[in-house]
């Protein structure tokens, strides 16, 4: 039982990370109907920017840990969001009215570009986040040993997701994003600046992805330039699992996927854990072809 709860926490914190990345996929998909394959690499860049701040800048020497975390989070989000906006301008906007699969190839090309840029700057080997920010501290709750970093990651992702949910559902900008997701032309007719909405989406999505990268660095300690593709693929799976384009769906999908993965590696086999996630995905899609929360879109005749 205790082991089970421990695994549940592992799954929840991993799931929170997946959910944050999945939100980037699902928001971009919502407004552009494009799978942003470069999103996983923006996530990697987030992890590396955090690494630079911790190791090269030595941010923890000058300020106390809590302030350091906030500064790191803000810098990473700002930096990755800038890259995201640039990516959309350079690689996706010229292809907005082209066949959809052409934009996918452009996204794959951007992904290769980012991945190799990170490799050229930081080298091909693993990098290790300095431990000491969190490692020693644990929380004791109901006789359970809870590493503080996992609780922290889970808390941050939950708070960020709640904020995002209210941003999308309750603000005027959120309403504009939802309108553009439904119909570009109709949105334009009621006076929404579609390009501006797309830019906002490419600020929010990559910022969340970059934050997730920073949290992976803090949580697992080890980062590499290729990690973006596996996390990206898992998060994309999560987005599809919940129903792509659907924001609560991405959150739910991420959490479910994280739990499945940590349970599979604990109780089945670590070597097969990735295969288990995909088998579950295929089974769920066989029963619900548009994901768990995806609405059944009526086909036009």
Partner 1 sequence: MKRPVSFNPLWVFFIVIFALPPLLDPYWVDVLNNVGLYAILGISLNLIVGHTGLFNLGHAAFYAIGAYTSAILNTKYHMPILSILPLSGFTAGLFAFMVMRPIIHLRGDYLCIVTIGVGEIVRIALVNNIFGITGGSNGIFGIARPELFGYVIRSPHQFFYLIWIFLIITVVVFKRLEHSRVGRAFNCIRDDEIAAQGCGINVASYKLTAFVIGATWAGMTGNIFATKMTIISPESFSFWESVIMFTIVILGGAGSIEGTIIGAFLIIGLPEIFRDLSSARMLVFGLAMVIMMILRPRGLIPPKLRSYNVRSILERDYSV
Binding footprint of partner 1, residue count (CB under 8 A): 48
Least distance in angstroms from the C-beta of 104 to partner 1: 7
Least distance in angstroms from the C-beta of 25 to partner 1: 10
Least distance in angstroms from the C-beta of 60 to partner 1: 32
- Helix, strand, or coil (residue 127): strand
The residues that bridge with 78 in the sheet, in sequence order, are none
54-62, long-range: CB < 8 A, 24+ apart: 54/129, 54/130, 55/130, 60/130, 60/132, 60/133
300 is an interface residue for partner 1 by CB under 8 A: yes
- How many Å apart are CA 27 and CA 36, to the nearest integer? 10
Q: Are 106 and 93 in contact (CB under 8 A)?
A: no
CA 151-155-158 angle, to 5 degrees, is: 140
- How many Å apart are CA 145 and CA 75, to the nearest integer? 32
Count helices and strands in the chain by DSSP H and E runs = 12, 4
29 is an interface residue for partner 1 by CB under 8 A: yes
- How many Å apart are CA 198 and CA 14, to the nearest integer? 28
86 is an interface residue for partner 1 by CB under 8 A: no
Query: Which residue stretch of 9-17, 51-59, 101-109, 127-135 sits at the interface with partner 1 (rule: CB under 8 A)?
Result: 101-109
When binding is defined by CB under 8 A, the residue of 82, 138, 224, 290 that contacts partner 1 is 290
102 is an interface residue for partner 1 by CB under 8 A: yes
When binding is defined by CB under 8 A, the residue of 82, 85, 113, 148 that contacts partner 1 is 113
268 is an interface residue for partner 1 by CB under 8 A: no
- Helix, strand, or coil (residue 255): helix
Summarize as ranges the residues that interact with partner 1 (CB under 8 A): 29, 35, 90-91, 94-95, 98-99, 101-106, 108-117, 119-120, 229, 233, 236-237, 240, 244, 271-272, 274-275, 278-279, 281-282, 285-286, 289-291, 299-301
């Amino acid at each position: 039982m205790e082991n089970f709860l421990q695994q549940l926490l592992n799954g929840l914190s991993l799931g929170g990370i997946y959910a944050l990345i999945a939100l980037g996929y699902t928001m971009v998909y919502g407004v552009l109907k494009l799978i942003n394959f470069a999103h996983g690499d923006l996530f990697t860049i987030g992890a590396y920017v955090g690494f630079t701040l911790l190791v090269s800048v030595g941010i923890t020497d000058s300020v106390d840990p809590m302030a350091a975390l906030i500064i790191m989070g803000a810098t990473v989000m700002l930096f990755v969001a800038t890259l995201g906006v640039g990516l959309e301008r350079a690689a996706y906007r010229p292809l907005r009215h082209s066949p959809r699969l052409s934009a996918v190839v452009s996204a794959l090309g951007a992904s290769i570009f980012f991945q190799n840029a990170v490799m050229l700057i930081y080298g091909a080997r693993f990098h290790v986040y300095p431990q000491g920010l969190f490692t020693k501290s644990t929380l004791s709750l109901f006789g359970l040993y809870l590493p503080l970093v996992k609780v922290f990651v889970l808390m941050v992702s939950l708070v960020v997701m709640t904020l995002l949910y209210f941003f999308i559902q309750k603000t005027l900008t959120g309403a504009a994003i939802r309108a553009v997701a439904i119909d570009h032309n109709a949105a334009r007719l009621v006076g929404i600046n579609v390009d501006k909405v797309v830019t906002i989406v490419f600020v929010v999505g990559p910022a969340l992805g970059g934050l997730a990268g920073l949290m992976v660095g803090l949580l697992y300690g080890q980062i590499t330039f290729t990690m973006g593709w596996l996390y990206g693929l898992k998060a994309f799976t999560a987005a599809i699992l919940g129903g792509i384009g659907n924001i609560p769906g991405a959150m739910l999908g991420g959490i479910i996927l994280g739990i499945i993965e940590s349970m599979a590696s604990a109780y089945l086999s670590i070597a097969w854990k990735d295969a288990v996630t995909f088998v579950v995905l295929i089974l769920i899609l066989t029963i619900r072809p548009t994901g768990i929360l995806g609405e059944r879109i009526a086909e036009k005749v």
